[in-house]
Structure formats: structure tokens, C-alpha cells
Structure 1
């Protein structure tokens, strides 16, 4: 069994790659994927550690974009970190994050909330700055009661300091993943809140849907399972673990994929790298 949706300190997770691997070993899973937001900087470390423990590692990434005013996340599995198209998307995504963060900080400053670059560096251990980092800073500085409250008051779409993501088109992302031999999956489609976007991505060539995710209700799981079957898509699941304790659990390993669908991912990857 595999957990295919995990985040580390290389993006907005709070655990190291080594800590993730230790959890995978404790749970006796066969394999996993590291899917940090807009970066593949943890891939080499994860691959080396996985090999040393005879674990099956699938290099991954999660890209965030905006479609029709909604945030959409696309997972890429078996990405080639040396592929020029993937590198280009990653670099553009990082630049867009920096620009967005500057605009958010400016809006917060206008509201009398000042966050310094030094403070951000304390919370973002690597080179990816996310709204989750800013949300935690707002909690620790006493402006919000929780991460959720930070998004409601300041950082979410209805928040005082909201800035829409500077987006790259989904077609570019799907093509970059495919050109690197990878497999594209729509992450937690139920979190989008607009199935028109889901269908646009399906017709636009996405390879599969993440059916089971810690954010999904049973009703959403059933709905997207039926949609996936209808369009003959690959079905995946993952914990989306960032290392935080939620309801007494880190979630890692609680939403795991069986061999059948892992084989489908591997088969499509093989076709795209070796041909039929």
C-alpha cells in the first residue's frame, strides 16, 4: 500500500523527509510519493532514503493554479526533475509565489499588521513561502485564533488581504507533466467547489482524480469515484499529510492506495517514457 500525497518542510509541511520515511516504515507501507507544492527539492533526498530501506518511491509534485476564481491543485507523479518543461513551470511558480506574498504583506501592512522577512524565514524552513506559513504567523502574533481563522479573516478568498494566485494555465502543467513521462492527477476535486472545473480538466486531458483524500466526505468520494469510472480515469488516494496533528492524528498512512491503481500509474509512466 502507498501514501501518494505527502508534504515536507520543503514546502508547507512541518516534518522532514526523514521523518516522513520513518512514519512510512513504522506503518509498513510498501511505498510513497513526496508531493511538495511547486518544488522538487526534496525528491533526491527522499529517493536516496527510500532506496536505503527498499521502499518504492514515486517522485511527485503538486502545482497550484487558479481556474474561474477557484484554487485547483494538480499532482504530478513520476516527474523527471531534469525535464526542462517541469523546471520552467517550477521556476515560474516560485516567482509567482514571491510576487503574491509581497502583495499579501502589503495588504496586511495597510491593515496595521506588519510581518518581516526575518519572521517569514523562521517559519518557512526552505525556499517555498505559502499562505499556511503566513496563517501561522498571524496566529502566533495574536491576530487570529487558528489557521482556519487566519484564512477566514485575512488570507482566504473573502479575507482582508486576499490576493488571487498568479496562475499558469492547466494545459501547460498537464503538458509539462506528460512530457517528463509523468502522470497527472487532480488533487481533492471536492475542495474546488465547482464541478464544471473538474469536467474541464477531464476533457482537457488530466489522467486521473484523487478520489480519497483527508478533505473528502464519503459523499464526495462516491461522486468522484463514479465520475472517474465514467471517464476511465486513474483513481488515487492520499493523506495530504503536512505533519500537523488533526483530530489526534497526523493522517499519514490513513488514506492509502492499493496495488491495482499503482500499477495503472506505473503502466502509463512506462508508456510515456518507453513507448508501447
Structure 2
């Protein structure tokens, strides 16, 4: 495969402790600099609360990195949970603020139900345990998985999810997110770009994935993630083909949550030749230095 070369390393999907990441916004931007990332998007789940701390760190310490305001919005499509990344959003726009407030309420209500369901099967102190792990961030299923792992209910996070937190298991609660259409509309009203997150990770057949991509494009979606840091070569090639087929721009991101051996900020992030990078078509203001990309 021929790489679409760029001297700039873009990582357009990452998480902090404001949602289900383990690093604080300050720690995340420092790690991104260490890993050679030039342009970073922080895209926490249904919240932008980590962005100001990240910006402050970059500006006060004059870090050599540019930050893009982002968010990862949870949606439902045919009963599947699909994530839409918003890049370059105006985080102060009243529409996005109201929408994310609603998403926070949905997350809180779901977390309460998950806690109750787990306590019914004699898991102790669930709500306090996940709150302690989340700190000031939103409680997510990842926090439940970490709490259960700490209790010795499994040997790894993946096993915990399969045993307790997926459909048909005792801790699963059907989410009540909005639609893909609504998420795209909200992102665009906030002057951002709507990107379909990690399309190969939903476990869809190629046929169903193409149905999703067609629907996303028809609703006005701008781009899809083509490249991730842990990815088979044929998968990246196929996603690049699909992006072109459905007239979607190509994005890339590590989906970094915490330091580990297989997912790292900026690692192996490149697009196949023939892709149309989202950054070649956007007009996004970045935090440091203050200029247009």
C-alpha cells in the first residue's frame, strides 16, 4: 500500500478523564507532544469539558502542538450504537451546549440503571465505585468495566464487557441516544465537521457497513475515519475505498484512552494514496499557534 505522505502528524480522535480516558487534559497534550503529534483533536464522549484545561496548558507552556475542539457523540441507528465525531465545533454555540447537556442527562440516567442492575446481582457499592473512578468526568460503561475488573470479576476489560455490559448480560441497559441525523445537524450548526468514528469496529458485515455509510452521507456527514493506529492493512485500504465511493473525506485518529502497548497517540496514522484528507478541505481555527490550518 502506498502511503499518502504528510510531514504533519494528525491525531483527530482522543479522550481524557473528562469522559472515559485515564489521562487529564494536561497529561494528554503533554503525551501527544512526546509522541510527535502536531495537530490533536480531543473528542471526549458527549462532553467538551476537558478542552479549556488542554488549551490553557498549551498556551501557558507554549507547547508545540495545535488543538482542535472536538466531541464524540453517541447515537442510535437500527438499535446499534454509532459514534459521530464533531471536529472544529464552536463549543460555546448554544445548540451544541444544550444538546450535550441533554446527553449528559441521558448518560447519568443510564449509569444509574446500570448500577441498580449490577447491585441486583450482588455487586457491592457500584455507584460509589464508578463515581470514584470517573472523578469529575461523565460516568461511562468503561468506568463500570474498570470497577468490576478491580473487584476481580474478570481478567481484562474486554472479558468484563462480554460478561456483564453487552446486550443480554446483567449490566446492560439499552441507551436512549438521539439519531445520526440529529448529531450531524447539531455538529453543523456548531460550525463543525461530522465524522463517522471507527466504522470497522461495529462488527458489521460489509453489506451493512455500506448501508450505514450511505445513510451517513445522505444525512450530510462530511467524513469517515479511515486510519487508526492498530489496524490491518486490508481494512485501511477497504475503508479508503468506501470513503471515496460514498464521497466522504478521510480522517484518522488513535481513539486513545490510556497508555497501552497497542494504541498510542499519533502511531501509524496515515492515509492510503487516493484518499481525500479532511484537513485539505476544512477551515478550522486551532489553539496554538493562533492561525488557520
Q: Mark yes or no: TM-score above 0.5.
A: yes
Q: Deviations over 1:41-60 (max 9, x none)?
A: 11112223333224221111
Q: Is 1:236–1:257's contact at 8 Å kept on the other side of the alignment?
A: no
Larger mean CA deviation between 27-36 and 190-199 belongs to 190-199
What residue ranges of structure 2 are gaps of 5+ in the alignment? 1-8, 286-293
Find the partner of 1:41 among 44, 49, 56: 49
Which residue in 2 is equivalent to 1:253? 266
SS at match of 2:266: coil
In the superposition, the TM-score normalised over structure 2's length comes to 0.85
Contact 2:42/2:68 (8 A) holds in 1 = yes
Deviations 1:45-91 (A, max 9, x none): 22233332242211110011221121111000011111111112211
Aligned-pair CA distance for 1:250: 4.5
Structure 1 match to 2:4? none
Q: Is the 8 A contact 2:10 2:38 kept in 1?
A: yes
Cα distance in 2, alignment partners of residues 93 and 131 from structure 1: 14
Report the 3-state secondary structure (helix = DSSP H, G, I; strand = E; otherwise coil) of the residue aligned with 2:75: strand
CA contact (8 A) 1:187 1:209 kept: yes
SS at match of 2:21: coil
User: Counterpart of 1:165 in 2: which secondary structure?
Assistant: coil
Q: Secondary structure at the match of 1:266?
A: coil
Stretches of structure 1 that go unaligned for 5 or more consecutive residues are 271-276
Counterpart pick for 1:230 among 223, 245, 249: 245
Of residues 241, 255, 260 in structure 1, which corresponds to 2:256?
A: 241
**2:20 is matched with which residue?**
12
CA shift at 1:265, angstroms?
4.7
Q: Is the 8 A contact 2:214 2:246 kept in 1?
A: no
Q: Which secondary structure does the structure 1 equivalent of 2:86 belong to?
A: strand
1:73-84 equivalence runs, <5 A? 73-84=83-94
- Structure 1 distance, partners of 2:214, 2:225, is 14
Name the residue aligned to 2:213: 198
Q: Contact 1:11 / 1:36 at 8 angstroms: preserved in 2? A: yes
The structure where helix makes up a greater share of residues is 1
Q: Distance in 2 between matches of 1:2 and 1:50?
A: 16
Aligned residues: 267
Question: How far did 1:199 drift?
Answer: 2.2
Matching residue of 2:163: 153
